[in-house]
Each structure stands twice: as C-alpha cells, then as structure tokens.
Chains A and B, each alone.
Chain A
Amino acid sequence: MKEGKTMERIQSKEALLKLRDTFKENLRVREQGEQIEKLITIKVFMGSSGYKSGAKEILNHFYERAKERKIEDLVVLQADSSGLIAFEPMIGVTLPGKKTVLFGKVDLKKADEIIDEYILKGKQIDGILSLTSSVAPDRL
C-alpha cells in the first residue's frame, strides 16, 4: 500500500476477488518460477557477444510481445553465452515436456514469427538450428 493513502475497507467477497486479480499480476513472475516446468520458456543467450549483437533488444521484444498477446504461460529467461557465437543473437525455445529447440540470428521479425507460428500455432518454421548437440546441456 502506498504511504499516506488510506484504503477503503473492502465490503464484499467480490471486491476482494477483484483486488486479488489486480495484485496477482505483481506476483506473476514468482508464480511462473514456481511451476516453470509446465510453461513455455524462451531462453535468450546473453553473453557479451550476444549482448553486442542485440540480444537485449530481442529479450525485451519477447517480454513485450508476451504481454501484448497475453500469453500467460510463456516465460522469458536469459542465459549465458551458448558458445555458438556465429549464430547470435540466439534463443532456445522449450515447449513443456519437449526438447529445447534453437533459433539462430534472431531479429525482431523472426521473433514475432517464432511467437505467432511456432509457439502459438505449433507450426514448424525455418531457422531451427540442428546444432543442439554442440551446446553444452547445462546451457540449454
């Protein structure tokens, strides 16, 4: 509660439920962490080279798109460099219960395509790297 602001007393269960939904937004990040294995994760590789090639913009772009489209079961994470510097900015997408899939040289357009086509519609799209095995498993 903001300092100095007096709260109006809650008068009904409905009002409490409404309040809960507003506050729940603030805890979204934590609750996602709690059940991360059930969610879709996008991991943006963010080592120095990834950073230089624009991984930060891609990261922010994913955050914004996820919010815009209201995809609640999508978590955007950042990770250390994958080692595959030639393909950066690179991301790894993990659908629940599936193996991680890598996308290299991701730009904003590609990022949208990944969300719209691969994640939301489940279509196979161009740009999937077949180099998964050359990345250390703990980085994925």
Chain B
Amino acid sequence: MQNYKMHMLVCGGTGCKSAEADQILVQLKKSLEDCDLSKDVQVIQTGCFGFCEKGPIVKILPDNTFYTQVKPSDADEIVKNHIMYGRKVHRLLYQDQTTKEFIEDSKHMDFYKKQKRVALRNCGFINPENIEEYIAREGYLALAECITNKTKSEVIKIVKDSGLRGRGGAGFSTGLKWEIGSRYDADQKYVVCNADEGDPGAFMDRSILEGDPHAILEAMAICGYATNASEGRVYIRAEYPLAIKRLEKAVKDAKEYGFLGKNILGTEFSFEVSLTFGAGAFVCGEETALLRSMEGGRGEPTTKPPFPSEHGLFGKPTTINNVETLANIPVIIREGAAWYHSMGTEKSAGTKVFALAGKINNVGLIEVPMGTTLGEVIFDIGGGIKNGKKFKAVQTGGPSGGCLTEKDLDTPIDFDNLIAKGSMMGSGGMIVMDEDSCMPAVAKFYLQFTQEESCGKCTPCRIGTTRLLELLELICNGEGTMESLEELKRLSLVIKDTALCGLGQTAPNPVLSTLNAFWDEYVAHVVDKKCPSGVCTKLLDYTIHADKCKGCTMCFRVCPAGAITGKVKEVHFIDVTKCIKCGACMDTCKFDAITRG
C-alpha cells in the first residue's frame, strides 16, 4: 500500500501540457528526490482542472493549495518551501481580481464556488491513465450493478426518470433514445460515442476524454447492456491525440480487468469497444454523416427517418450518444434518477459543462447546474470581461447558436430558455464578446466556418451559405445597402427551412440573432458606412488632429506602410491611399492626437 502524506496534482490537459506541464512533472519529481521526500509525496498527472486561463496548474493536497501559471523552474521552490517548511509560495497563488487577495484554498476561489462537477467529477482529480484510481472512485460499479442486478428495462427507466437530455446539442431525452434503440432486433447492434467535437472554441468532450476516459467506456457498456448491443465505437477526431492515447490505454486496461470483452464480470453480457478516427469535418458531428464516415464513405448526412436507432451503422440499429451525456450515466445509475433530477430545472435536469472562451477573464472549463444564469456564469465564475471592457454579447451553441446580449444575462440557462431567446445550448461552447467586437464581422466569421464546412450535398446549404457569406462581406466592406440586409434575412430563413441536416438548418442562426439584437450596427455599416466597433478595416479612417499633434514623429516611425509624413515638431499627416489601417500609429501616439472613425 502507498503511504504518501501529500499528493501533488499536475494538470495534464492539452492546454497545460502545451505550457510545459510535462516538464513541471519531471522537475517536481526530481526536486522531491533531491530533498529525500519522494516517499512522502506523490506526484500525479491528472486531467483538466478547468482553470485553463491560469495554467499550468499544480494542486497540492490535502491542503487544497492551488498554484497557477507554474513554470518548470518553480518546482524547486514549491518543494523546498511548501513541502519542507509548509510555506506556501505566495507569488504562485491565485489572486482574486476584485479583492486582490491571494487565495490559498481552491475551495474559496469564485471560479469553483458556484460550480457543481458531475460529468467532470474525476477531471483534475484522478490520473486518467490509471484504472485503479478510477475504480477507487466507484468506477465500473454502476456497470456491475446494471448487469448483475438490473434488467434492461430497469436501466432504461432510471436514465429516463433522471431527465437527462443529450448534451450534444439537440437535447433529446437520452432515456427515450435508449428505449427506442432497445426496441429493434438485429443480429448486430451498435453503441456509438460521438466525440467529434467541432464547434470553434469548444473543448468539453476533449477534456472529459482526457481526464476521465473510463467513465465513457463504462457508460457505453451500460448503454450496450440496455439496448442489447455488443459493440461500441467511439468516433473521435484525429486532432485529439492525447484523448486518443488515453482512451486507447483505458480500453486496454478495461479489457485486462474484464470490464470489457467477453462475459463481463462473469455474466452473459459481452461488449467490445473500438475507436474510429474522424478527419475533422464539422458535418461529421451530425449523426447520419458520422455514421457514413465510420462506414468509410463520405461524411454526408442522409434524411431522417429512418433514424439511426433503427437503421444506423452498416444498416444496423445504433444508439448514438455524446461524450458528456455518457459521462453522466455512471453517476446517475449509482446515485439514482431522483438525485440527478433534483439538480437543474424542471425540464433540463442535471448539470452542464461549458467551455468559456473569448474576451473573458477566466477562460476555461466549468460545470454548473442547469438554471444558473448567464450572468453568473460570465461574471461570477468567468470573472467578467478582459481588461475591464464592457460586455457586449455571448455566442452560445457555437456556429449553430446565436448571440445573447446584456438583457439576457438574467436568463437561467437551460435547453428551452436558450431556444426561446433565439440561441441554443449546442454542445456548450460560450464565446464572450466585448465592446470591441463587430457583430456583422462575428456573423461573417461563423458563416465562413459553416460555408467551408458545408458538405455540399444539399443546395440550400452549399449555395445558400456562400451567398450569405458574400452578402456579409459586402456589408463589412461598406458596399452593402438596406436591400442587402433584407436579402440577408430572407435568405437566412429560406436556408433554415430547407437545408437537409442540422448544419445547414442552424447555419443562419448567428446572422439572424445578430440582425435581431444589433440591427443598428448593421445599419451603420450599410448607411453610414461606419463600423462602430472599429473592426471592419475598409470602413475605418485614421486622422491626425492638428491641434493635438506635437510632431514627435513616433507615428511616422511605427507606420509599417510609410503612409505618414511629417517633420519633427510639425503636424503629421496620414496618406489614406497608403494606409493599411493597422492602428499602430494610434496605439503609439502619446497625445491622443490620432482618432479612428
């Protein structure tokens, strides 16, 4: 038995790893060795802590000390001060933005106070590559309970009663999906885990797979048992090498322990899991396109019905669940449907993981009960907007969702509320925009994405998104008219009604929601030919005000295009034909003599 007195957890998520977290691990071990403490202190690499903004994270237990932005060179100081003399390394502690206090115990951080971690329960707590730690956290007990003590319909009833809805975007009842899946008989049935996370700025599924891969395997086996399937496939994008590596290790270990394979836990139930790698096409997150891709064909969607539950992978009945949905299953089985339903709102039970990104202070991964308001997520947990700027909008649901504005901050987040507000839950990405974001440009960004990712099968999506993008470019270039705005709206509605799959049907959402909430900004672009946020370069002019210019030549020197002329102590001028509108002159001017308009 191990006899460690302290544990040091080093974040091993992709974010922290890219900031030398591996090296921190090595250095910590080395320092402990040097101080003859390696028998007292265990160093473990875990999954994501969620506080990616201040990564790499090192957490020390049992005293819950939370060190942020650790560098490999800090390892020695942590060991020599904290571990030897109990002196916390103050400069590495998290500093509260408002009180300026250094917080020693992570439980007192605003970022964690309002969170409730269910799907992320093991992320940043266990070593994801060690099955023993998963077992110690009640791992595979839910599977054992199901296959030894519960009938298939009992399992389905628990999932149904829990009120769990699919976390991939559409929010369909998971229990109902399993029930439908269990109705069809076939010689071969499948369970598919959709780990094709494609929204820009979303990393919920990746973090779960990297931090707690066994939970997904356990849930897939439970789903297999409930729906009578004997084979599970994970469709994961090849861009997630770390998640793939940990998942492969998890499959191997689970097989050795007998949680996967033939006659699991000595019962009749057999279940195998294998991985299929996606090539990163956004459309393959749509379930029918995903199945075609898995079969080796082109990732193109097909019409529904028939639904995959009846006619799925290789024509066989297939139950498809998203990663986060699955991560909830083992806990629901262990703690019961009522427990899960007690969290969240009436129609959207449980918790939801969100990836906070954009102009927000605490970029990272969070999990909150459904019904938490947008404001709480952005300001209390997310720490507000970067550099003290003003909040403008938040895009939920990725390129398929919409923009929510200040007046929606009090909206409790759940599936139905977001749809009512013209956005959607989506998979849980939240991109926050501040006053410097130009909404037509934001819509253009998303349209660029969906237009490029459109598979091209149906005309409304293939041609429609291209036309939408052209219109938006026209507007952002100052060449649009009021008719362009009308056309933008009309076309968006047509695409929404006629596209074949979810990608096309939701692609106009960012356009419609920004048109709705920021109509004035669109009008400014087409009528006044101005971009109020100063983003659309074609609509910008930089001018030097003669009364303020002291002739210091600073702007003359920084201008990369040689567009500024002037002599020392004389007023300078910008040649608009040469100006590339980079704004470098305005940033360097000490006398506020240069304005943008």
Contacts and interface: CB of A to CB of B under 8 A. Distances in A.
Interface in A1-60: 1, 6-7, 9-13, 16-17, 19-20, 22-27, 29-30, 32-34, 36-37, 44-48, 51
Give the bracket for the number of chain B residues in contact with chain A. Answer: 35 or more
Contact of B87 (A16, A33, A37, A80): A80
Interface string B116-149: 0000000001100011110111111100110011
A1 B256 contact: yes
Nearest to A21: B136
Contacts of B258: 9-11
A30 to B, nearest CB: 5
A63 B144 contact: no
Give the bracket for the number of chain A residues in contact with chain B. Answer: 35 or more
B420 interface: no
B86 A27 contact: no
B86 A78 contact: yes
Interface string A74-90: 01111111000000000
Contacts of B265: 10-13, 16
B85 A16 contact: no
A29 B7 contact: yes
Given A26-B1, A80-B86, A7 B7 contact: no
Interface of chain A: mostly helix, strand, loop or mixed: helix
Contacts of A30: 7, 9, 61-62, 125
Contacts of B86: 44-47, 77-80
**Which residue of A11, A23, A24, A30 has the most chain B CB atoms within 10 A of its CB atom?**
A30
B151 interface: no
A26 B136 contact: yes
A20 B136 contact: yes
B62 A23 contact: no
Nearest to A10: B258
Nearest to B133: A27
A63 B61 contact: no
Interface of chain B: mostly helix, strand, loop or mixed: mixed
A11 B137 contact: no
Nearest to B149: A13
Contacts of A11: 258, 265-266
Contacts of A36: 62-64, 107
Contacts of B149: 13
Contact of A48 (B1, B85, B266): B85
B87 A27 contact: no
A51 B85 contact: yes
Contacts of A23: 132-133, 135-136
A13 B144 contact: yes
A75 to B, nearest CB: 5
Contacts of A17: 141
Contact of A29 (B5, B107, B148): B5
B62 A25 contact: no
Given A27-B133, A46-B86, A78-B86, A6 B256 contact: yes
B303 interface: no
Nearest to A16: B144
Contacts of A9: 256-258, 261
A27 B137 contact: yes
B285 to A, nearest CB: 34
B6 interface: yes
Contact of B5 (A10, A51, A76): A76
A62 to B, nearest CB: 10
A105 B130 CA distance: 43
Contacts of A47: 85-87
B114 interface: no
Nearest to A32: B62
Given A20-B141, A36-B64, A27 B257 contact: no
Contacts of B253: 1
A23 B2 CA distance: 10
Contacts of A78: 85-86
Nearest to A25: B1
Nearest to B258: A9
B262 to A, nearest CB: 9
B256 A7 contact: yes
Given A10-B259, A13-B144, 7 more contacts: A11-B258, A19-B135, A23-B133, A23-B136, A26-B1, A47-B86, A81-B85
16 contacts: A1-B132, A9-B261, A13-B141, A13-B148, A16-B265, A17-B141, A27-B136, A29-B61, A29-B62, A32-B61, A33-B62, A47-B85, A51-B84, A76-B5, A77-B63, A78-B86
* Closest 4 A/B residue pairs (Cβ): A9-B258, A78-B86, A33-B61, A46-B86
